[in-house]
Structure 1
């Protein structure tokens, strides 16, 4: 996946330096989505440097394009160095300006300047595009464009898009036709196959931006300076704010601090932005994280929508393959419930560290308002509980950490519901076209709500008539919008690539889902009440286990030179073994495997010797005695053992003190995976720091895989 960002100011004077910093900061917020290379495009001066003779063909000068391999700060340093060499005026003010930016996770072509975005139509940069996703038919398009005389400079699939835009534009111009920016983009969309979010910039259409999407996330942020007016102080223009007054109707009026008779009405939807001339700032972003510091008013763009920013207005068109002309669409704006502080590291060294330690709070917010009088209330499911209870089976579908969270909660859901529960990795379900029936309930688990394979599995399940339930951390995500019902996990934003607090909140949400589904069974009433009474104590127990931080740091130092690590679990904690090993491999770049302890004698036992570190999860549950037996067998083969057990059980799991012990608080068996994963998260974090790797941006990975 990649991060795309754009900023357009209209009737708000902004200096070029300010515009650059807005674009850079947008990329910094999105760097978790990719950090192989990055780039930006801004406007040049009409008669300066880059304009030259080519500017005669345009209404404005060709844009300035900067691209650089490496992380965002490499781009920042390169841009300011180039700006100095060009003697570009950073203090020049623009009343209207449109800039685009991109941070890349390489798919087609190695990380390099030429493969970075924005990708260009060619000489003069007549069309520039930033892209998240994959164009599956790019080879066919590339061959066609080469036959028409185009030369390609990158290895990317993206480069066909701006060149196709130029081809469409040139064809219209040769036919003496006037073609609008939106017409160009819609014709390009008609030729593209695959998943994409795109933003277009062109000197043929100065101060305009167009964005469109299919299968990738894209957000429009809107900041309107209601009731501002210009005053002149020694030939300099200033925006003067007005006092905001809330009316009983829920609308807002703004009163000038200097003129009580000057009023302006607030907006609630995009339609009101198509006619007013108010000063405003508009943003496109792959994620809400990049716009929260600017505005809380946003729109989640739907598939096949084309959003055109021109003359301060926002127009939305709905593309349809079967229709020559797109239909105009009106959409309501949403209000973002997020604060800037949530996307900052605060006093922590890394986002992963912060998010591990935020888990008491994220679990509290996940449960808030949902536990009432020995019952669980999940508003997003209440109208569909009867259908779920009568399902022939429940299928959990996810990828990576989200799959592991569902696996951890599966035994409890089976116990309370009496419904067969199966697990599917989204990519495997699609590869083999596994059977999905109308009588099934398919539960899709995704932190971002934008994971490509999970969304494709959702489309497949919808087509087969299953009831589709979403569990996600992202309000307004594609998963949240396309499922029939679902639950928001309320874990708060998660910026570190390795998911931590979302994982534990997902387990708790699925546990609460099991309690809600099984609420009609008298035979499980006592069990349900016991778990409901245990849930409110969970955040405090998590706070207790976080006190193992120093111990896990010491353990990490002792393991930092190791090449491999095995983690054995079973029952509820088979998922803990998988997830703990996943955390170690994805951030510490150390080979690690999570294994089902019951399968130890069917192959994995051959790996055991006195040098290989092995973590065995042996907390108190129905599998405790079996795990004691596993520990004895590993002892007999001189295994280097690290045993996680409940407080007070050290002697019973490790006779003679020959093991290294991690003691954790005991909670209800179905909630124990929430506790047990935290020492392994801490171990992965400290291993990564000790080994000198980047915790928040591990090699070759990005936050959520929105491309296949």
Structure 2
């Protein structure tokens, strides 16, 4: 998705060069989200006295990557002889990375979008304005002309229209910037995160949101200088604190290197930065739709939170790519996910799981008529991997829903249901809409996310934080395996009141404790998977067969190859082989079969997978078989195939082990083909628009 970054320094001298570089670096931290163009806006003045409201802000926009934008900005600066050493006591700059939705990637479609040639109002925007065509027609009738194909351009033009109308009335008085923005919000439909800048309101920034994520970071320079700052000081800055820096960002990655004090902006909040102070107004969309003219919502008080993130987490370290780093971080991400939640027990005490976020709701979950797991993409696959165990230990029917499909058909959700929402970012648009749908229907809603303070984390009744650490590569890896582990712990917690399954639960807990070591072991296949990738480089298609717990592995492995290596890949339930897929098999087709002999895997399923291998081999398919260590002769008797051996763990945990070779395969295929593994074509990290 698109990325927003904004920077305002107050009562602290910063050179224009420094300001520009802060904006550029903020955008670089958001690159992983996916984008095709970028832009920034800064003030056009060399004076430190900021009373020149008639000077238009400068806007720089460029198609392509951020380096292209940087090059074009400095070229233009050189041509215009703009003074990069000019110092600003106060300055407000905005920046954006765009992922094209309305209009092709081009400078004119990039952000910031402007109200007109004088740049009276500028806006950066994430999301989609669904009624932009109606607004555009209205503005055209009032004399506005449009330069871009974007939905965003209606927003700054609407702001100018509102501003101009306020000056026409009798007894005109200056209207605060926040009131202009609130009136604009009253006319917008859809999802958005917005940051406004205007030459009529110099040195002010306003942010607001509805559906798309946005954060405010605050850095108090005065207290830092005096060594009085505390990372747990969560009070908002006031005018008597002299030197501050403020940051708006789509996520925490772009602000953590500047400050750990942040605020997650809620839907409907209007955050106004003016004279070194932060004011927050609460906009009620439904009430405002019925009002005519400017209205001022009530102000609200919010406390700052402290980021639990280090700068080191957003650096690649010794790895070449984020995806590579995150694949190899999985032993530690799994340990962190389980830390403090697995209880070994003591003398005469059973092993158990403690999930603090669920303890007050476990009885309700156990009484549910069914559990509905809802997600998109990789998160859906994680829920699919955990479903057999959740059904086994809870005794409750478990259904799976792709969030968009649930919404499209308005599938039944009842008040006796427990709805589990799985999302790495906690901001996935379809999943959020499905959450609202489930809330409206009275279901108990459980969130499983990797992002503290995300929309899903805030709006569900209870939940579990994955604790996998920040994930920057677009293709999810460590979040996926941590999601499976979290859902396994959910199953253990829900089934904890059943004596008959106690031994089974304890075996799984033992397996969870040992899982990071097993992941370390399977990561040693890195070179072997690179060799396999070299053999598959010229392939145009790859089928992945799995069944039981590892049907999800087949889907997720195929998704990884598809996402980053840009190769057609399809995950197939092995039991469906004869219902169509077998027609594709010949000597030119590469086929990956997952046939691990899991510790509790029913022998009848294992024998069925052996039969699948035999039939695929009989049709001359080019087979790659994943099996448990030492069992290649058992899996493929009399068949000469490429074998990948992995450690054996508890059946319900085997998907965590089995996906890693496929993650490595996808990574190496992508790198060998010279593609961008961290920013695959046409994809974004977090899909926050529909």
Mapping of residues 421-500 of structure 1, within 5 Å: 421-500=398-477
Structure 1 residue aligned with 2:102, among 108, 115, 118? 108
Q: How many correspondences in the alignment?
A: 669
**Residues 438 and 464 in structure 1, CA contact (< 8 A), matched pair in contact too:** yes
Deviates more, 1:453-462 or 1:619-628: 619-628
Partner residue, 2:281: 317
Partner residue, 2:291: none
- Provide the rounded CA distance (Å) in 2 between the counterparts of 1:696 and 1:276: 44
Partner residue, 1:161: 155
Shift of the 686–562 alpha-carbon distance from structure 1 to 2, 3 Å rule, reads same
Three-state SS of the structure 2 residue aligned to 1:328 is coil
User: How far 1:216 sits from its partner (Å)?
Assistant: 0.6
Partner residue, 2:193: 197
Partner residue, 2:670: 688
- Provide the rounded CA distance (Å) in 2 between the counterparts of 1:204 and 1:96: 15
**Residues 46 and 61 in structure 1, CA contact (< 8 A), matched pair in contact too:** no
Moved over 3 A (4+): none
Matched, 1:300 2:256: no
- Provide the rounded CA distance (Å) in 1 between the counterparts of 2:241 and 2:257: 23
- Provide the rounded CA distance (Å) in 1 between the counterparts of 2:233 and 2:353: 37
Structure 1 residues 681-702: Cα deviation after superposition (integer angstroms, max 9, x where no partner): 0000000011111000000000
Partner residue, 2:244: 280
**Residues 276 and 313 in structure 1, CA contact (< 8 A), matched pair in contact too:** no
Partner residue, 2:79: 85
User: How far 1:274 sits from its partner (Å)?
Assistant: 3.6
Structure 1 residues 375-411: Cα deviation after superposition (integer angstroms, max 9, x where no partner): 1000000000000000000000000000000000000
Partner residue, 2:226: 242
- Provide the rounded CA distance (Å) in 1 between the counterparts of 2:244 and 2:551: 52
Matched, 1:33 2:33: yes
Structure 1 residues 522-547: Cα deviation after superposition (integer angstroms, max 9, x where no partner): 11011001001111110010000000
User: How far 1:174 sits from its partner (Å)?
Assistant: 2.1
Partner residue, 1:573: 550
Partner residue, 1:362: 333
User: How far 1:269 sits from its partner (Å)?
Assistant: 2.8
Structure 2 residue aligned with 1:670, among 636, 652, 658? 652
- Provide the rounded CA distance (Å) in 2 between the counterparts of 1:702 and 1:334: 27
- Provide the rounded CA distance (Å) in 2 between the counterparts of 1:8 and 1:73: 23
Unaligned runs of 5+ in 1: 49-54, 229-240, 246-250, 253-265
**Residues 33 and 104 in structure 1, CA contact (< 8 A), matched pair in contact too:** no
Partner residue, 1:52: none
Three-state SS of the structure 2 residue aligned to 1:624 is helix
- Provide the rounded CA distance (Å) in 2 between the counterparts of 1:680 and 1:474: 25
Partner residue, 1:639: 621
Matched, 1:417 2:413: no
Partner residue, 1:703: 685
User: How far 1:60 sits from its partner (Å)?
Assistant: 4.7
Mapping of residues 172-251 of structure 1, within 5 Å: 172-175=166-169, 176-227=172-223, 241-244=225-228
User: How far 1:657 sits from its partner (Å)?
Assistant: 4.9
- Provide the rounded CA distance (Å) in 1 between the counterparts of 2:491 and 2:664: 29
Partner residue, 1:68: 62
Three-state SS of the structure 2 residue aligned to 1:656 is coil
Three-state SS of the structure 1 residue aligned to 2:109 is coil
Partner residue, 1:530: 507
Unaligned runs of 5+ in 2: 289-294, 346-350
Mapping of residues 542-553 of structure 1, within 5 Å: 542-553=519-530
**Residues 370 and 398 in structure 2, CA contact (< 8 A), matched pair in contact too:** yes
Please give the root-mean-square deviation of Cα atoms over the aligned residues, in Å.
Answer: 1.5
Three-state SS of the structure 2 residue aligned to 1:315 is strand
User: How far 1:177 sits from its partner (Å)?
Assistant: 3.9
Partner residue, 2:127: 133
Mapping of residues 14-25 of structure 1, within 5 Å: 14-25=14-25
Q: TM-score with structure 1 length normalisation?
A: 0.93
Three-state SS of the structure 2 residue aligned to 1:395 is strand
Three-state SS of the structure 2 residue aligned to 1:98 is strand
Structure 1 residue aligned with 2:235, among 269, 279, 284? 269
**Residues 234 and 306 in structure 2, CA contact (< 8 A), matched pair in contact too:** no
Partner residue, 1:517: 494
Structure 1 residues 419-456: Cα deviation after superposition (integer angstroms, max 9, x where no partner): 00000000000000000000000000000000000000
- Provide the rounded CA distance (Å) in 2 between the counterparts of 1:46 and 1:288: 31
Structure 1 residues 25-79: Cα deviation after superposition (integer angstroms, max 9, x where no partner): 110011122320000000111689xxxxxx99x6251111000000111111111
**Residues 370 and 377 in structure 1, CA contact (< 8 A), matched pair in contact too:** yes
**Residues 569 and 576 in structure 1, CA contact (< 8 A), matched pair in contact too:** yes
**Residues 497 and 698 in structure 1, CA contact (< 8 A), matched pair in contact too:** yes
Shift of the 227–675 alpha-carbon distance from structure 1 to 2, 3 Å rule, reads closer
Matched, 1:342 2:313: yes
- Provide the rounded CA distance (Å) in 1 between the counterparts of 2:156 and 2:226: 42
User: How far 1:226 sits from its partner (Å)?
Assistant: 3.4
Q: TM-score with structure 2 length normalisation?
A: 0.95
Three-state SS of the structure 2 residue aligned to 1:76 is helix
- Provide the rounded CA distance (Å) in 1 between the counterparts of 2:207 and 2:85: 28
User: How far 1:275 sits from its partner (Å)?
Assistant: 3.8
- Provide the rounded CA distance (Å) in 1 between the counterparts of 2:18 and 2:239: 27
Partner residue, 2:299: 328
Three-state SS of the structure 2 residue aligned to 1:211 is strand
Shift of the 276–418 alpha-carbon distance from structure 1 to 2, 3 Å rule, reads same
**Residues 47 and 88 in structure 2, CA contact (< 8 A), matched pair in contact too:** no
**Residues 60 and 206 in structure 1, CA contact (< 8 A), matched pair in contact too:** no
**Residues 222 and 241 in structure 2, CA contact (< 8 A), matched pair in contact too:** no
- Provide the rounded CA distance (Å) in 2 between the counterparts of 1:626 and 1:87: 74
**Residues 274 and 315 in structure 1, CA contact (< 8 A), matched pair in contact too:** no
User: How far 1:574 sits from its partner (Å)?
Assistant: 0.2
- Provide the rounded CA distance (Å) in 2 between the counterparts of 1:675 and 1:682: 12
Partner residue, 1:5: 5
Shift of the 565–313 alpha-carbon distance from structure 1 to 2, 3 Å rule, reads same
**Residues 47 and 61 in structure 1, CA contact (< 8 A), matched pair in contact too:** no
Structure 1 residues 308-344: Cα deviation after superposition (integer angstroms, max 9, x where no partner): 0000000000012425320100001100010000000
Structure 1 residues 490-517: Cα deviation after superposition (integer angstroms, max 9, x where no partner): 0000000000000000000000000000
Matched, 1:150 2:144: yes
Structure 1 residues 610-647: Cα deviation after superposition (integer angstroms, max 9, x where no partner): 11000000001222111101001111111110000000
Partner residue, 1:289: 253
Three-state SS of the structure 2 residue aligned to 1:566 is strand
- Provide the rounded CA distance (Å) in 2 between the counterparts of 1:167 and 1:217: 27
Partner residue, 1:260: none
- Provide the rounded CA distance (Å) in 1 between the counterparts of 2:196 and 2:413: 39
Structure 1 residue aligned with 2:594, among 595, 613, 617? 617
Structure 1 residues 106-129: Cα deviation after superposition (integer angstroms, max 9, x where no partner): 111111100000000011000000
